[in-house]
Structure 1
C-alpha cells in the first residue's frame, strides 16, 4: 500500500457471490420475539438493514434494543422469529458461525497485551499466518489512526484510544456487519462528540454495515443513515434522522427524540382548531412580547404568560403557560444581550409558528 493510499477493510468476496448477496439486506429480522420467563423483552420486531448502512437502534433502558442486538450477534436465541444475515437464516447459529463482530461499551481489551497483539488476537484464534495477521492488524490500526500506538498497553491509552483499539480488533476480521453496543457511553462529552464524527467517517471508509445501539438521541441523529426508535420491546418508528425528528410517528418518539411540545385535548382544539395530539418543536416557535401582532397566513398563534426563563449560553429556553391551557417550551438563539432575554420572565407573550410545524402524532404505547 502506498503512503497516500487510504486503507481498505472492505469485505472481500468473489464478484458473483458478492453481487448476489448485496441484493439482500445485510440484516433482516422477521417477527422477532424474545421472552425471559414471563417478561417479553422483544415483541414481534420486523426490520431490514441495508448493506453498507449506518443504522442505529435508539430507545430508553429496557426498550429491547440491546436484546435485539444480542440476537443478531447470537448471544441470545430468539423465542420465535428469524434473524437473517445477507439472506442466510442464522437464528440458531452460534456467534462464531455468524459473519458479525461486536464492540462493547467496556471494550474488553486484554491488559497484558499491547495494542497490536490485541488487534491480532481474533486472527490468531482463526490460525491466520503470522505475517498476514500482522499486515491486517496494522491496516486496521491505520484505519482508526492508531498505527503509532501499536506497542502500547491499553493502560497507556486514553478512553477514546481504547475505544478505537476495540473497533480495530473488530474490523480486522472483516465482518459483513459490525455491532456496536453503546461503545461511547463511558467517554466524556467532548470526546464522545469527537468520536461520533470519527466513527461515521470510519464507517464510510470501510463500507461495512454498522448497527449501533444507543439511548443517546444526539448520537443517533449525528451518525445514522436511519434510526429505529424502540419502546416496550417494539419499534415505534424507522426513518432517517430528519424524518424521525421532523415527523415523529407517535407522542413517545416526539418526546424521546429531542424535546417536543405536545398539545392535546381542549388546548389543541382551541389553538390548532382540530382534535388530536400535536407535536411542536420548541425551536420552531417564535416568541413576541407584542400581543397586538397577529399571526400571518399559514401561521398558528397562542397567547400566554412566561413562567420561567432558562439561560443556557448559546440558547434561551422559555416556559409559557397558555391561556388555552397547557404549556409550551420555546427555544431561541441567544442573539442579543442576556438582560433582554431574561426580561421576558413573567411577561405576557404571543407564540407563533408555521402551520406545518404542528404535526399530529399517535398516542403511542
Structure 2
C-alpha cells in the first residue's frame, strides 16, 4: 500500500488548526466533484464521529474514492465543504490536514529496513532521532511487527508489508486515517485475517478510520457504520445491521449481501400487498412437503427449483414461484438437509422478514 504522508511538508509549514471540542471528526456538506462534463460526486452530506470505523461501500465508479481524495486534499471539490474537527479545510493542502492515507499498493522503500520505512515521515518532519525510534517502535508494536524491524520489505509476506505501511501511517498520529481498498491485493484467507486485525488495531489506537471498499463482506465485518454509494450519491448510511436488514433502495438490497426482490403480481399473490419487497435468502426455509400449511405469522409459496449452486458450507437454490417471480434460498450443507429430488418445494419465511423497498420517489424524498 502506498502511504501518502500529509506530514511530509517543509519543516517551516504551520501546523493545522486545532479541532473544535465536540465537533465530528469529519463533516461533508454539499460535496460535489465534476471532471469536465462528468459528475463524479453529486452532493454528499455526512458526519463521521470521532473514533468511528466508517466504510464507504460501492461499485467502481460510484464516487467513493473521489470523496476520500477530497477529504485527503488530493482533489478539490467543485462545490461544498470538508470539515475536520469542526474546521473548514476544503482549500488546504494535504500536508496541512491532520490525516494520512493508505492505498492498496505497498510502495515501501526497498533499500530501507522496516524500522527506517516507518520512521521516514518523522525524518521528513525533522523529529529528533531518539523520538523517531521510540514512536516507530511503538507503531510496529501496534501492528505486531516489532520483531521484524531489521528486515527489508523483500523479506516480508504480503500481509506483513501491508502492516508496515499501516504502521508508517499511524506513526504520524493522524486525527483521521483514510484507507483506499488496502486489502485488495491480498488473497482471500489473508484478507479475512487482516479484516479482524485491522478492526482490532483501530480499537487499540482509537482514531477515526475511513475505509473505502467495493467488498460488502469487508464493510459488514469491520464497520461501525456504512455509507453505500451509487452513481455519485449515498443511497443509505447506517450500521451494518441496518443496511443489511433494512435496505433503503433496491440498489442497496442487491449490492449489500444477496437479496430476493419480489414485486408485481408475485408480491400481491404471495405477500398480499403490492410494491417491491426484499427477502434475504437465509431467512427462507425449504420444505419438500407441499401439503404443509403455513403457521401463523408465516408466508408460504410453492415453486420449482431451477438451479442449484454448491458453495461447500452452503447450498443455494433458485426457485421459480408458481405465483410468478423467482426467489433464492440458502441452506447449510448438513446431513439433515431436505431431499429435493423432484425439484418441487414449498418456501416458508416469517412475515417480519418481508421488507418493503421504497420506490424511487419515496427514496428520493427520504
TM-score range, shorter chain: over 0.9
Please state whether the residue corresponding to 2:136 is helix, strand or coil: helix
Which deviations, in whole Å up to 9, do the C-alpha atoms of 1:142-162 show, x marking residues without a partner?
000001111111111111001
Contact persistence 2:20–2:87 (CA under 8 A): no
Q: Give ranges in structure 1 of 5+ residues lacking alignment.
A: 1-16
Please state whether the residue corresponding to 1:135 is helix, strand or coil: helix
Aligned position for 2:295: 296
TM-score (norm 2): 0.92
Which deviations, in whole Å up to 9, do the C-alpha atoms of 1:119-162 show, x marking residues without a partner?
00110111101110111001000000001111111111111001
Aligned position for 1:329: 328
Aligned position for 1:13: none
- Over the residues paired in the alignment, what is the CA RMSD in angstroms? 1.4
Aligned position for 1:344: 340
TM-score (norm 1): 0.92
Instruction: State the Cα distance separating 1:307 from its structure 2 match.
Output: 1.1
Which deviations, in whole Å up to 9, do the C-alpha atoms of 1:160-193 show, x marking residues without a partner?
0010001000000000000000000000000000
Please state whether the residue corresponding to 1:21 is helix, strand or coil: coil
Aligned position for 2:306: 307
Alignment of 1:1-365 (within 5 A): 21-336=20-335, 343-344=339-340, 346-363=342-359
Please state whether the residue corresponding to 2:20 is helix, strand or coil: helix
Going from structure 1 to structure 2, the CA distance change for 1:69 and 1:346 (only over 3 Å counts) comes to farther
> Counterparts of 1:113 and 1:363 in 2: how far apart (Å)?
56
Contact persistence 1:309–1:345 (CA under 8 A): no
- Aligned residue pair count: 345
Instruction: State the Cα distance separating 1:311 from its structure 2 match.
Output: 2.1
Please state whether the residue corresponding to 1:258 is helix, strand or coil: coil
Which deviations, in whole Å up to 9, do the C-alpha atoms of 1:290-324 show, x marking residues without a partner?
11111111111111111122222211111100011
Instruction: State the Cα distance separating 1:22 from its structure 2 match.
Output: 4.6
Going from structure 1 to structure 2, the CA distance change for 1:46 and 1:345 (only over 3 Å counts) comes to farther
The range that moved more, 305-314 or 258-267, is: 305-314
Contact persistence 2:28–2:80 (CA under 8 A): yes
Aligned position for 1:11: none
Q: Give ranges in structure 2 of 5+ residues lacking alignment.
A: 1-16
Which deviations, in whole Å up to 9, do the C-alpha atoms of 1:79-127 show, x marking residues without a partner?
0000000001000110000000001100221111111111001101111
Q: Which runs of 4+ in 1 moved over 2 A?
A: 362-365
